[in-house]
Every structure is written in structure tokens, then in C-alpha cells.
Structure 1
Amino acid sequence: MRRSRVLGAAALALATGIGALTAAPAAAGPTAADELTIAPLPHRTPSYQSVYEAGPNGVMLDRPGAGNMYWKSFADGREVPLADCPSGPYGKWMSLGDTVGCEYRDASGTTAGPLTLHDQATGRSETLAAPAGRSWTSTFSPTQVLATEQDAEGRLTLHLMGRENEPRKDVTVTAPERIPSYRFWVQTSDEKGALITYRSAAGQETLALLDFATATLTPLALPEGATEPGSVDYALGSRWVSLRKSGSTTATLLSRADLAVTRSVTTPTPYGRTHPVGDWLVTQDSYATSDAVTAVPVDGGAPRTLLARSSDRGLTTGTDGSAYLAGGTDSSHWAMYRVTPGPDGARRCRR
């Protein structure tokens, strides 16, 4: 931005609050010698904007101070307000990746209402009729929606209900046991499946992986020393599930293609979040002075620094296995970053 020397001095004085302005004689017009270039100030604090959801085509963000959310396209940068999705006084609102949805219910009770899902990337909506004897959860994939069926004893059977592009309209999930309804929680999910916690018949708090493709629920062994899922940092990557006991520098990774295939990865710090991105484990040290973000190869090797600084607002995972966070290369340059696996398997960090 170019201004005359007088305007430049005025801007500088107003910005810094030092020095008094004095009148200057009028000039015929600025010349090259009278011009001053003012560089933009660096961002010394992280953005307070959060990524709420991230899909393969864009992210759902909020406008700080405005309170409204919108979807932003990766392809062309367009910003679209989230679709109006009325849920009624007793319904629920949900989101995953590029899609927002709502179940419409105008009365309380356990009877499900119709579920509308809107793809922000394409602008297309679809509505699923309320399934008889089922209740919707807030978890869905590009082809199915997770629902529950409760018996007289208050235990659940899980069902995957097919969307318009899925010919299988009701698939019963194979699980080791029926799940108590009052101890059932979907903790995180992506396009391939979900991590679920529940209390087993033996009274044990259990962490299990639901695979959408095979419609199976598989309990996972907790890391050594962890007695319940609440003391475990867990995440879903496109290739791996990561589990790490709070306060430990050892993370266990299980292959999503075959849970019998595991890796043990040493993280640079026992604190913060971990998330598998491709064949790398990304760690955000949210308790260190630098708040550094590092990546460690799953098959062994030295950690590499992705970002020297990061925001304490945490790390968000995308449905395609990417990771999102506010960070910077130093203490004066901040932006929102997306960490993805590159074509060669190496991690890539882009603004």
C-alpha cells in the first residue's frame, strides 16, 4: 500500500500512539521520493477461528464474534452459509465432513423422525424416512447412517441404514454383545467407521472400532497401564487407529485394514493430541512453551517439525484422514494449516 510521506507518518503515529502531528504545507502531489511503503503487521497471536468439521472438499468454520458458521471450498475458496436444516423442538442437528443433517421431531419420545442430509459441496439434499423401531444416532458416512434398536432390557443392537446411493437399506452390525443404552457413546467417526465406548456386560468400560464396510464392532485392547478409555488419547486416521495412554510417550497404532497389524511409536512428548496422517503420527505438544507440531514415521525414524508454534485450541481431524490446526512457522506468523499425506506417503503441511 503506497501513501504520501505525510499520510504515512500519520498512519504510523495513529498506530503506535506516539508523537503529536503537526500541520504540513500542502504539496502539489506525491513524488517517488515522497512515497512510503508500510508493510502489514505480523500476526503475533493465533487465530481464534476453529475448524468444526473437515471433509474431502472443504471445511466448516465460524466467524469469530459473529456466531454464524459457514462452509469453505478447497477448490475455489467460495464460502457458503450452512444449509437451513430445521430439526423441530425435539430433533437433533449433526455434521460430518462436508455434510450437515438434522432429524426433525416435533414431539418428545423415542420415535425417530425423518433425517435430512445436505452436502455443502454439491448443494444436494436427501431425506431418509424414519425407520420403524429404530433411533438415529448423529453418526453417518457417505453411504449409511448409524441407528440403534433398543430391546425391553434397555440394550442396543446397532444398524447401518442405507442412504440413497446404498442398496443395502438395513444392515445389522455384528457385535460381541448387546450394548447398554445408557453407556453408549460415539466418540469420533470418519468416512470409514467410528470409535465407540460402552460398558460391557462384565461392567468393563470398552473402546471398540465400528467398521462401516464390514458392519462389525471390534473391541480394542487399551494401551498398557490404561484402565478405561477416558485415560486414552485416541484418533482415527485413514490407515491407522492410534491409542496412547495419557502421560505416556508410547503410542500404539493398529492398521484399519487388519487390526492384528500394530506399530509402536515413540512421541516427542507425553502431552497434547496425536493423530495418524497417512503413515505418520502427528503430535501437537499443547503443554510445551513452543506448542510445536511434529510428525513421526509409523515404521520408525526421527521426528520432524511441521510447525514451530500452534494454537491451544487444539487439533481437528477430517473425515479423509487429514489434520487441521492453527499454527505458525514462528511466533509472528500464524495461519490455519491442513496436514495431509502426499502421493509419496510423506506428510504435507499447507496453509
Structure 2
Amino acid sequence: MRVLGIETSCDETGVAIYDSRAGLIANQLYTQSKLHESYGGVVPEIAARNHLQKTVLLIQAALQECQLKAQDIDAVSYTAGPGLVGSLLIGACIGRSLAFALNIPSIAINHMEGHLLSPMLEKSPPDFPFISLLVSGGHTQLISVTAVGCYALMGESLDDAAGEAFDKIAKLLGLGYPGGPELSNIAKNGVRGRFIFPRPMTNRPGLDFSFSGLKTFAAQTIYNNEKTQQVRADIACAFEDAIVDTLLIKCQRALDQSGFKRLVVAGGVSANCVLRSKLTDMMARRNGAVFYARPEFCTDNGAMIAYAGAIRLKESQNHSLEITVHPSWPLS
């Protein structure tokens, strides 16, 4: 079975084709970062219009990549939420229309489930059960996963997501957009210990996150210090360490609470090298295993939606032709 996946939840247009026997056979991605850079963040109207321009072109490119025709596709999956409603509607309308024209199933996919399952695309995928840390620009969640579709939310951010906090502090440091990767890059030259930032909500029980106070603390530090290149690097280093340590502590608590030995880390922030290093060391000490998607599958992409669609198709989770999207769609 070949499933074409369409991802248009925010500012990346992703189209991929997953073959249940051969695996991922086509993967096309267009990022809108340059379009939104001058605004310092994603402009929903611009994002939706660009998806409209690019999605069909990427579908054609994906088919050409694996030398298939549209008639060779067995199902179409698309992101139905969560995300920007205008962007979601573009992918949903194109996906449903294509499925209708080809008389094949169309499958609405939760964007966060796509991220959660993205490590399954690797050569050594995790077995169930596991704890999943979903950490991106829009979400920071800890989820207990016992099977596909069996998800229990253990903790989440009460305000800013970790990736959002990265981007906001990067902007205050005068870095480009998207700011998270640039902040991590200059943090490599920072002097650890020059600035000490709090690890929010780690001095109390529970698995929820809160990064708004840390963001304010970092902002005040930026305003109160001269913005030399070294100071900016030192602040970036301290901020990154605070985020990573907070995620690490909460992951340890979730593993202790569940008794699971496997940890899956997904979402854009999961590409962070410091986070990967510390989580890998922590799981080694616990005689457990940690799993990541390859860097290109950490950010939004069509491959994870195509794979999730293939899994859902096996379970006969097929949907009618009604076009419905869910800007806020809890994974549970």
C-alpha cells in the first residue's frame, strides 16, 4: 500500500509517499522561513497562501521522485490539526479532493501523532511502551505511549512551549529567524556558569512545564548587560542549559512514574545537540534507550504524515469526504 502524506500545519509544506513494503520512497519539503523572516514569526495569511502555491507542485515532484503516477497511490493522508486553521484547510482540501478524484481513502492525521511516530521511520524503531517527549515551537508534552493510538498525557507546558521560548530569546539577542537553531549555535561559544538561570517548576512535584518565567528572567538579563558577542553567547548558553535541564528532570520523573525503559524524543527542539547528548547519557545511566528521528524529520515534514496514514489505513480508520480541521486537537 502506498500512502501520500500532506503536511501544511504551519510554515512548512511537506509531501511524501510511504510504501508499506519499501518504506519511504519520496519526500519533498518546502520551508517558508525566508518569507516570514522579516516579520520575526509566522504570518498565518502568508503561510496559507504559500501552501496553496506549493502543495500541488510538491505532490507532482514526489510522484516524479519515485516514478509513480497518481493512480498508483492507494490512500491520501493529511494533517488535520493542530495548527493554523488557514494552512490546515489548504492541505485538507487538496488531500480530500485528490482522494475523491482517485476514489481512494483519505485519512485525517493529528500533527502531534505524526511527530510522535516519526522515529518509527528509522532503521531501529522503538518498541512499545515508551515515554514520548514532544518538544517543538508549539508544544511541550510528556506522553505515555502503550500502542498506536493509546496515548496518555502526563504533563505539558502551561504557557510558552520550549521552542517558542527559544525563538523569543533569540529575537531579543538580535538573532535571525527561526531563532532556536541560531541561539544554539552561538551558545557553543558561551562560558558556562557566567549566568545561572532557574530551572522552572523542578522544585515541586509534577510533570507540567512553564517557560514564561524563565523567558522573563533571560530577557531581564539581556537588558541589564552589554550585548557584546561574548555576553550574547554566555546568555544563550545559560538559557539553553536551563531549558535542557528542565526537560531532562521532567523526563526522569516520567520514566520513574511509568517504569518504562524507553524514551522517544520528537519535534523541532529534539534536534538540539545538547538535549540529545544529555538525554542519551541519562538513559545510559538508567540502562534504558532513547530514540530520535533524523534531523530532517524533527521539524514538520510529509514523511511522518504519510507513515501515520499508512498505520491508520491498516486499522481501517478511514474518513468521509467531509472536510474538517482542528486547530486545537488534543493528542489524547
TM class by shorter chain equals under 0.3
Specify which structure has the higher proportion of helix: 2
Q: Normalising by structure 1, what TM-score?
A: 0.25
Specify which structure has the higher proportion of strand: 1
Q: Normalising by structure 2, what TM-score?
A: 0.27
